Each structure stands twice: as structure tokens, then as C-alpha cells.
Amino acid sequence: MEAARQIRSAVAQVALLRQTTEADAALRTAVREVKRVQSTRFAGTYADLLAGGPYEAAARFFLVELYSDKDYAERDAQFARIAGAIEKLFPEQVAGTAVALAELHALTEGPDQGMSRAWVALVGGEPAPARRYVLAWREVGRRAEREEQLRVVLGIGQQMARLTRTAGLRMMLKMMRAPAAAAGLGALQRFLECGFDTFAAMARHRDGAEDFLAIIEMRESALMRLLFDADLVACETELARTLGQPP
């Protein structure tokens, strides 16, 4: 039951962080604003991919499922309530994807909460969103965690690519819709089917998934170097451009 233990542990970490947020209205607002900036930034960074072409669906899947500002509470609640059922209902490689998804959420929520506290502290003078984000990012730091986030995101993509090469798995996923819904795993089922179909479509192009993930790694790594190491004004200007906003 290792997968169930890992999922419960990750979801519990997120739940603890949420408890502190719920008690503070300013912090709740800041969390939403930080996540909105991050989602808008991703859309700007990958505007070329989202505009069409062989990677459009994959970029949109990453935006909606991994970089969105939407509330993942439903998926978290499902994970925590029936983590053991994931191991029983889904094949081992699929359960591994569920573990990675839960761990990614835990890795993301901690730094996001820290940035949200810094975001609230920066309210004086109302700095522009790009400057406020850069200052909050640098206040929190946690470079190793940010790099681990990216590794997990890429790992989820790699797992999805591998799943598309597993004979009969798509049919198995389709057959599992009813039992997954009955077990309260509808959100996870939707994620898996969407991810599978997205990466299967890319697999029709030679090295399609590998090339897409290489683009993600290159651009996200460049962004992290910018946010951690670049001159503040240069960093703010570039981020504002990506956000489509004045610095």
C-alpha cells in the first residue's frame, strides 16, 4: 500500500496549509492572485504552442491540469478519501501517476503559500504585478523545491507518454469509468483519460512527446534562472511582457 501512503501524506500536507489560509482572508486572496499570475504566465510562455500545431493539446493539458489557478479541492478530497482504492482499481503504472500528481500538489502549495504571505506584505505602494511577483519569489527562495517541482512535472509527462505505449490500457481506462465513478474517483479518471489521449495524439509524430517535454524543460528552467538570478529590472520587464502587462 505504498502508493496509498504517499498519496495520503501529500494530501495531508496540502490540507494543513489550507487550514492556515482559510483563517486569513487577505492570505486567501493572495493565494488566488499568485496562482492567477502563474497561470497567466504559463499561457504567455507557451502562447506559440497554444495557438495551434502538434503541441497545442499537450500545452493546454499542462495549463489546465498542472499550472491552472483552478481549485483542486475535489481531486484532493478524492485522493485522501479512497487512496487505497487507487491501488486496487488502477494498474501499477497508473497508480504511480496518481502519486506523482498528489506529490506535485504538495510541492507546489508550500512555496505558493510562502509567496502569498510575501505578496500580502508587499501591498504597500501597490507594486505592479510583475514586480510584486518577482519580489515575492525572491523573498521565498526555495530553489531546490522549485527545481523538484519541474522534475515532477516532467516525470508526469514522461509517465503519460509511457502509458500510451502500454497495449490495451486505453480500453482498460474506458472500461474503468463506471467503477471509478462509483469509487469516487471521477476527477482522477478524467485527468488520466485526457492525459492519455493528449500524449497518444503526440505519439503519432516521431519523438513528439519527448520534444514537447524538452520545450517545457528548457523554458521553465530559463524562467527559474531569470527569477532567481537576473537583474531585478530585467526580470520584472521580461515577466511583465509574458503576462501581457506593463511592468
Residue with cell 517535454: 213
CB 98 within 8 A of CB 89: no
pLDDT of residue 73: 67
CB 135 within 8 A of CB 127: yes
pLDDT of residue 84: 67
**DSSP states of the chain:** -HHHHHHHHHHHHHHHHHHHHHT-HHHHHHHHHHHHHHHHHHHHHTHHHHTSSTTHHHHHHHHHHTS--S--HHHHHHHHHTHHHHHHHS-HHHHHHHHHHHHHHHHHHHHHHHHHHHHHHTTTT---HHHHHHHHHHHH--HHHHHHHHHHHHHHHHHHHHHTTSTTHHHHHHHTHHHHHHTT-HHHHHHHHHHHHHHHHHTTSTTHHHHHHHHHHHHHHHHHHHHHHS-HHHHHHHHHHHHTS--
Instruction: Tally the domains of the chain.
Output: 1
pLDDT of residue 140: 93
Helix (H) or strand (E) holding 95: helix 92-121
DSSP 126: -
CA–CA gap between residue 193 and residue 191 (Å, rounded): 6
Cell representation of residue 245: 502587462
pLDDT of residue 185: 67
pLDDT of residue 196: 75
CB 196 within 8 A of CB 160: yes
Cell representation of residue 67: 499550472
pLDDT of residue 166: 73
CA–CA gap between residue 159 and residue 101 (Å, rounded): 11
CB 110 within 8 A of CB 146: no
Q: How many CB atoms lie within 10 A of CB 225?
A: 11
In the chain, which residues have pLDDT < 50?
Answer: none
CA–CA gap between residue 61 and residue 64 (Å, rounded): 5
- The pTM (predicted TM-score) of the whole model is 0.83
Domain that holds residue 36: 2-243
Short-list 94, 244, 65, CA closest to 169: 94
Cell representation of residue 206: 516521431
